[in-house]
Amino acid sequence: MLNIGTKAPDFVLENQNGEKISLDSFKGKKVVLYFYPRDNTPGCTKQACAFSSLKGEFDKRNTVVIGVSKDSVTSHKKFDEKHSLGFILLSDTSTEVLQQYDVWKEKKLYGKVSMGVVRSTYIIDENGVIISALEKVKPDLNAQQMLDIIDSLKEE
């Protein structure tokens, strides 16, 4: 994971509509940047739908939600349409951004070792600085957890 207090690496990736999106274009807003393994798998669907259902709450807090995986733009489009997600999904087929954010790691499943995305979430402040970094988050609890962190930061 990248350290809290460091500048979040900028990037340009395509969203589910094929539009190029850069992290820097969200200066002045908080960004919840979450990395997930795969579209339309049970855990990833739970996580995305939880973020989608709380989108209005994130909007009230001047916060943009962005999901990133290795899936293609086409896969993201289908995932977004199937579940009416309504937030940005970015495609990183090269894994360049996944590696920059230190979420592309060796994983073991049933004794088999492979590379994959470790489900992780960052909160980036209005100036592009990482203010929260969580690894191995629980898909169904992650969205509410991010709201709680954002609210706790306001109180400090």
Q: Catalytic residues, which ones?
A: 44
Collapsing DSSP to helix, strand or coil, 43 comes out as helix
59 within 8 A of 150, measured Cβ to Cβ: no
Residue owning tokens 């939600």: 65
Nearest to 13 by CA among 4, 3, 24: 24
- CB neighbourhood size of 112 (10 A): 7
CA dist., res. 126 & res. 77, Å (int): 28
Which letter does DSSP use for residue 129 in this model? Answer: B
